[in-house]
Structure 1
Amino acid sequence: MTYFYYHHDDDDCDKNSDPNATNDSASVKYNTAQTIAVLANDSDPDGDPLKVQWASDPAHGSVTVNADGTITYTPDPNYSGTDSFTYKIYDGQGGYDTATVTINVSAPDGIVEGTSGGDLIDDHYTGDPEGDMVDNNDAILPGAAPNDDYIIAGDGNDTVYAGQGDDSVEGGQGDDLIYGEGGNDTISGDAGNDTIYGDNDPAGGPAADPVSETVDWSHFQTDCGEVKDQTVDLGETKVHFDFQSQDYGAKATLTTSAQYTEAGENFDSCSALQLYGAGGDCEGGVSPTSTTVLTFSSDNSDYTGEVQGLSFRINDLDRSDSYDDHVDVVTLSAVDADGNPVAITIDPEGNQTVTDNGDGTYTITGGDQDDGSLYQDDKIGSVKVTINDPTAKLSIAYSNGGATDQAISITDMTYDTCPVENDPGEPGDDSLMGGLGDDVLYGQQGNDTLEGGHGSDSLDGGQGNDTLDGGADADTVSGGDDRDLFIVGSSTDGIGDTLDGGEGGDDYDTLDLQGAGPLRVHSTVTDYDPVSGVSTYAGTVDFLDGSGNVTGTLEFSNMEEVIPCFTPGTLIATPRGEVPVETLREGDKVLTRDNGIQEVRWAGRADMTHEQLARAPHLKPVLIRKGSLGNDLPERDMMVSPNHRMLVANDKTALYFEEHEVLVAAKHLVGNQGVDTVETLGTSYLHFMFDRHEVLLANGAWTESFQPGDQTLGGMGNSQRQEIFEIFPELQTAKGREAYQAARKTLKKHEANVLRMS
């Protein structure tokens, strides 16, 4: 006998090596879950497949271990900062290792940022790097309410729905489509040919695009071979299946038998619902009826739950008196979400009879096929059903009018989801700026400000008292309803423009050309209201060069006023003597009553033609003749604008108003001896400002400098107004304008009348 001795050496046996888990890090958006592929950098020396066995709970969130080895981390609501968790991997051979995942949850910066591509930015957009969203109650910028969003769309052809609140939107480069929706929004299209709506799409606008879905019968469950009541999620839509019958053998089943379909139809030719009906012999010759009801709904707030363009086929719908004495009868009905009947189109391929019952139901009766040998894929036994309008519920009632058992087949159904229409919210007072490019701006409702910027723009103010400035290049500007102000900042801006004030609402439109001279206006009266005494004008504006040559033309229509405060020739007292007012420039020194020598900070001019003055008689100049103010003042005749105020100082002012010196508008002095409104062939109004409202000498009489107020600034051209704001930035706010107080008490009209009558 021979013995063999085997020495067992553990080093020669296969040994399992532990896997290597490597620490991970991940950046997670604010209030956003993220799935992390933790196994991507883990390894096993033996090549064993790895699984994640468990993960610890993070301090500021939660984790879910997924079947594919990933881990989904969800931060706590409104948390930002650092978080971490530990996970354990297993190689299936007894080897383990652990690693730590460090999470950085970004804090929102209050800005919803688009990408470099064409984005759809609305309240479902999640592409912002920090997780900011539209109307997510997460606005954090100073002074912003929770839904006052700041949106920077970035490059690309973007579509932006700003939602509710007072939003700020920058379109960036690209041809953008922007809806301000509710609130007082500020929107800039920036570069590109943009279309901007201050409120919402005039047609309402869908919240989302329609989605094509299919009722695929293979997704439905069966119980003992029959389809019972159930709800199936098809994506954006859910469909509830309800089968009702009078028993006697009626049932619903699924079949994979070949179905008749035609090219271009998206019905699965091997998927159908089969409805069985027992013959009349089952119960005293009465053929039972089964009713299949499909009810559509949606959990997505972007969709109504109704479906549109619903389409399917009913196959094997026939009749035979000679073969097995049967007749298939189908009655269809559909209603919308309000329960109103919806029209159904039925196209039979054979000689079936279709009857519109007039009550929202349609009956299809099988045609006589003689031998009764039709199958589910035979054309002549097929009927095409189409329901185009939004549908919430479809009913299919089936009975077999003969003595034997029969069945019909319902193919898969295709349809599109129905998006909800956006709620425009309350109309706001919006500010829309086109920027570069040929832009289209719609103010819609509210008192809006529209500025076209560069490019050949189209501006439509819509309803409300709007301010419109087409900006550079040839623009088309429509005020729409109510009282609109059209501003032409310069002759260059105005050349080629077409302006239409509109006729609806509380209509009184003004064309402001103060910053666009020299110019010449040609106009005709197109309408006159004898009750209000207001005329409406149309015409053209010729812009002139220094030699009086026409450099370009503007066309206007439906304007009730065309606007153009010392007139040229008035002498102003300065340290170097009296100088004509038209020669004063910024930096010149002028003598003032209260503060000595002061420097002119800004000077402006508005020219008015005879036609303009004829259309706006309340703007005609007032002639104050020599000596008419008392004490031989003024020393020479002088003409001023009707709102220009003169200093009046006498015993009457002290007696009646407890002020020795007061200011009175020239128009309120008309009627005093030597003070009259005059007819002229045209005039120019000049105004200049100091650091404060001053009283100065003009033709030897004390009068005022220009005082900026809401009305005077609002009636100016944009360029002049911007000049003033650059020099006096505080005047951009109501508080700043209030601080620029009048140098003296200003009398109202009835108070000025007291002086004249006493």
Structure 2
Amino acid sequence: MDVSAPDGIVEGTSGGDLIDDEYTGDPEGDMVDNNDAILPGAAPNDDYIIAGDGNDTVYAGQGDDSVEGGNGNDLIFGEGGNDTLEGDAGNDTIYGDNDPAGGPAADPVSETVDWSHFQTDCGEVKDQTVDLGETKVHFDFQSQDAGAKATLTTAAQYTEAGENFDSCSALQLYGAGGDCGDGVSPTSTTVLTFSSDNSDYTGEVQGLSFRINDLDRSDSSDDHVDIVTLSAVDADGNPVDITIDPEGNQTVTDNGDGTYTITGGDQDTGYLNQDDKIGSVKVTINDPTAKLTIAYSNGGDTDQAISITDMTYDTCPVEDDPGEPGDDSIMGGLGDDVLYGQQGEDTLEGGEGSDSLDGGEGNDTLDGGADADTVYGGDDRDLFIVGSSEDGIGDTLDGGEGGDDYDTLDLQGAGPLRVHSTVTDYDPVSGVSTYAGTVDFLDGSGNVTGTLEFSNMEDVIPCFTPGTLIATPRGEVPAETLREGDKVLTRDNGIQVVRWAGRAEMSRERLMHAPHLKPVLIRKGSLGNDLPERDMMVSPNHRMLVANDKTALYFEEHEVLVAAKHLVANQGVDTVETLGTSYLHFMFDRHEVLLANGSWTESFQPGDQTLGGMGNSQRQEIFEIFPDLQTAKGRDAYHAARKTLKKHEANVLLMS
């Protein structure tokens, strides 16, 4: 059969697929975690998964994976690595890391210790190992009395409706009278040890259940007392709890050492049959069990036996080990999605629909997107982005309180608004206040168009820093000297007039409590071709122009914009500590690319993430100059001068 060569993409079908490390439905033979990733910049297990249509379940496994859910209500687990996960259409649920339920490698399988499968030697059951399917059981019979033996019987057994025990199959343990002369010591000890050759299962069993029948005590004319002591341990040798339910008046004793003793009751009826209810005891062991021990004693002077019915159980799957959690990018897309960042510094974008976002642990960035969303930051220092008033209306944002807590609400590009807040907590040591309140979104006339509720927020945020030289018709001038009306050289439209200039002060205290806002130092020559010509320091969200053959190859654009924080992996680009700085912004009639310290970079773009640090007064200044920006249509028209790379796209560019 002619099979196409792998193309580096694990593809699902048009139906509901389970895509994990055992999925073999890709037409080119690509698999998850198969050391076969071949896309540019990919490590061997950095998989690219396109699930396609249908309600799919995807376990991306180890590596820095990219997953596209496609149409349908998908369930996606990024598992180990720094993953990029996109739900696309449908009501999707996406976890950045592992399945919180544990993610077993296989489903449990129900099996039976069927005594009819055991071999006999001269009518007796001797030591042997029997394959039961996914599990093997080793049978070990130890006789402590010359007359003790284990045999098989097809005599009718007591069972109840719903029990999957064969009513005509049992192991019979026979004990001679007197038990070595003391009437108490074990006649025999039977040990069942479970194991598995299948790597998907631990070898332990769970939900082990069976009956002991004909467990009784005779009258004085037939002196015998059945005594059974049970114990069970897990794979580590730890005792496992046993539940014992007698049908008659047998006595059950928990000995406190992991063993349980059952003593036949005084029925005064002589011998019982194996199908008599009053002689039956139900045994259940719910927890994982590796070994079961049955010690049988006959505490009287005459011979007697008990019967052990078939045993039922479920196998114990091995818990999946997908690797260490990472810093994930999770995009819900269309539909009402549920996104969990879990551990790591994650970026969650809800997209369209009424989404639920939970950042989990780590310093996360969360953007609910369109429609009414519920967004919870979880532990540590989280950044909440509201891209527009339309995005924010109906949202409920909670910064969370755990970990190294300092949460920031960024009302970027949200148009005219009014914030009502109260202090809900204050730390006198750090001087940090925590706020809760309401954001009113306003139209051009000051009327409220909708609201947003927030709580547990410690800050609401602020592109160039002073000293950066900007190319103008009169030469290079410091960025901090530019004012409204000054002329600047641009890459696309020649000489353009500065329409607005702004400044945001970043104190040492503010940077200490919001380290994600620390400036990025781009050293001389670190961008290639001896650029920039001098060291330059910019805000983390300020975007630099990158233009080379790789950008055209990977993104079908010769020139792209990359945020400074996404260039930190590049040699010579680092986030730096500072006692404080100022971020400078200036705008033109359109988003422009201009020359700073010899490198092409962007001007301020309304709606860019850095807008959030501005107060209402600066925002109103911009709206007076650019009134169209008060509407979503107007902001959309002020589009970016170049394609902007996301974090995972920038990583591909820098690593290749």
TM-score range, shorter chain: 0.7 to 0.9
Deviation at 1:214, TM superposition (A): 1.2
Q: Which 10-residue stretch deviates more, 287-296 or 653-662? A: 653-662
Cα distance, 1:440–1:749 mapped onto 2, change above 3 Å: closer
Match of 1:560 in 2: 458
Cα distance in 1 between the residues matched to 2:270 and 2:552: 115
Cα distance in 1 between the residues matched to 2:165 and 2:374: 51
1:322–1:371 Cα contact (<8 Å) kept = no
Cα distance in 2 between the residues matched to 1:465 and 1:506: 9
Deviation at 1:301, TM superposition (A): 3.1
1:217–1:412 Cα contact (<8 Å) kept = yes
Cα distance in 2 between the residues matched to 1:145 and 1:678: 29
Deviation at 1:444, TM superposition (A): 1.1
Deviation at 1:235, TM superposition (A): 2.2
Deviation at 1:607, TM superposition (A): 15
The partner residue of 1:264 within 157, 162, 166 is: 162
2:504–2:614 Cα contact (<8 Å) kept = no
Cα distance in 1 between the residues matched to 2:480 and 2:77: 47
Q: Which 10-residue stretch deviates more, 168-177 or 610-619? A: 610-619
Cα distance, 1:707–1:219 mapped onto 2, change above 3 Å: same
Deviation at 1:176, TM superposition (A): 1.8
2:545–2:559 Cα contact (<8 Å) kept = yes
Q: Which 10-residue stretch deviates more, 367-376 or 735-744? A: 735-744
Higher RCO, 1 vs 2 (CA within 8 Å, ≥6 residues apart): 2
Q: Which 10-residue stretch deviates more, 263-272 or 549-558? A: 549-558
Deviations 1:386-428 (A, max 9, x none): 1122211110111223333322111111112223333353220
Cα distance, 1:347–1:545 mapped onto 2, change above 3 Å: same
Deviation at 1:573, TM superposition (A): 14
- How much identity, in percent, do the aligned residues show? 94
SS of aligned partner of 1:725: helix
SS of aligned partner of 1:558: strand
1:563–1:608 Cα contact (<8 Å) kept = no
Deviation at 1:458, TM superposition (A): 0.8
Deviation at 1:480, TM superposition (A): 1.5
Deviations 1:35-68 (A, max 9, x none): xxxxxxxxxxxxxxxxxxxxxxxxxxxxxxxxxx
1:514–1:605 Cα contact (<8 Å) kept = no
Structure 2 spans left out of the alignment, 5+ residues? none
Cα distance in 2 between the residues matched to 1:272 and 1:624: 79
Deviation at 1:542, TM superposition (A): 1.5
Cα distance, 1:689–1:344 mapped onto 2, change above 3 Å: same
2:387–2:607 Cα contact (<8 Å) kept = no
1:487–1:511 Cα contact (<8 Å) kept = yes
Deviation at 1:348, TM superposition (A): 1.4
Deviation at 1:597, TM superposition (A): 2.7
Cα distance in 2 between the residues matched to 1:640 and 1:166: 28
The partner residue of 1:583 within 474, 481, 495 is: 481
Cα distance in 2 between the residues matched to 1:148 and 1:755: 15
Deviations 1:352-401 (A, max 9, x none): 22222222111112223434232111111111111122211110111223
Cα distance in 1 between the residues matched to 2:81 and 2:522: 49
Deviations 1:510-559 (A, max 9, x none): 22222111222222222333333333222221112222221111111222
Deviations 1:156-189 (A, max 9, x none): 3222221111111122222222111110011111
1:116–1:155 Cα contact (<8 Å) kept = yes
Match of 1:220 in 2: 118
Cα distance, 1:359–1:447 mapped onto 2, change above 3 Å: same
Q: Segments of 4+ in structure 1 off by > 4 A? A: 281-288, 564-596, 598-758
SS of aligned partner of 1:623: strand
Q: Which 10-residue stretch deviates more, 676-685 or 624-633? A: 624-633
SS of aligned partner of 1:635: coil
Deviation at 1:190, TM superposition (A): 1.4
2:112–2:310 Cα contact (<8 Å) kept = yes
1:122–1:134 Cα contact (<8 Å) kept = yes
Cα distance in 2 between the residues matched to 1:137 and 1:291: 49
Deviation at 1:660, TM superposition (A): 35
2:274–2:307 Cα contact (<8 Å) kept = yes
Deviation at 1:114, TM superposition (A): 2.7
Q: Which 10-residue stretch deviates more, 343-352 or 709-718? A: 709-718
Cα distance in 2 between the residues matched to 1:126 and 1:620: 46
1:467 aligned to 2:365?
yes
1:517–1:606 Cα contact (<8 Å) kept = no
Cα distance in 1 between the residues matched to 2:547 and 2:26: 66
2:389–2:441 Cα contact (<8 Å) kept = yes
Deviation at 1:662, TM superposition (A): 28
Cα distance, 1:687–1:434 mapped onto 2, change above 3 Å: same
Structure 1 spans left out of the alignment, 5+ residues? 1-102
2:412–2:608 Cα contact (<8 Å) kept = no
1:253 aligned to 2:163?
no
Residues paired across the two proteins, number: 656
2:462–2:612 Cα contact (<8 Å) kept = no
Cα distance in 1 between the residues matched to 2:300 and 2:626: 94
Match of 1:334 in 2: 232
> How big is the alpha-carbon RMSD for the aligned residues of Structure 1 and Structure 2?
11.9
Q: Which 10-residue stretch deviates more, 602-611 or 633-642? A: 633-642
SS of aligned partner of 1:368: coil
Cα distance in 2 between the residues matched to 1:757 and 1:167: 15
Cα distance, 1:429–1:581 mapped onto 2, change above 3 Å: closer
2:19–2:58 Cα contact (<8 Å) kept = yes
Cα distance, 1:635–1:318 mapped onto 2, change above 3 Å: closer
TM-score normalised to structure 1 length: 0.64
TM-score normalised to structure 2 length: 0.74
Q: Which 10-residue stretch deviates more, 166-175 or 677-686? A: 677-686
Match of 1:84 in 2: none
Deviation at 1:644, TM superposition (A): 13
Deviation at 1:128, TM superposition (A): 3.0
Deviation at 1:690, TM superposition (A): 8.3
2:461–2:612 Cα contact (<8 Å) kept = no
1:291 aligned to 2:189?
yes
Deviations 1:635-672 (A, max 9, x none): 99999999999999999999999999999999999999
Cα distance, 1:449–1:657 mapped onto 2, change above 3 Å: closer
Q: Which 10-residue stretch deviates more, 559-568 or 146-155? A: 559-568
Cα distance, 1:704–1:531 mapped onto 2, change above 3 Å: farther
Deviations 1:582-627 (A, max 9, x none): 9999999757999983588999999999999999999999999999
Deviations 1:278-299 (A, max 9, x none): 2238879887611111111223
Deviation at 1:440, TM superposition (A): 0.9
Cα distance, 1:518–1:222 mapped onto 2, change above 3 Å: same
Deviation at 1:676, TM superposition (A): 31
Match of 1:427 in 2: 325
Cα distance in 2 between the residues matched to 1:632 and 1:283: 98
Cα distance, 1:719–1:189 mapped onto 2, change above 3 Å: farther
Match of 1:727 in 2: 625
Matches within 5 A, 1:694-713: none
Deviation at 1:119, TM superposition (A): 2.8
Q: Which 10-residue stretch deviates more, 242-251 or 557-566? A: 557-566
Cα distance, 1:756–1:313 mapped onto 2, change above 3 Å: closer
SS of aligned partner of 1:731: helix
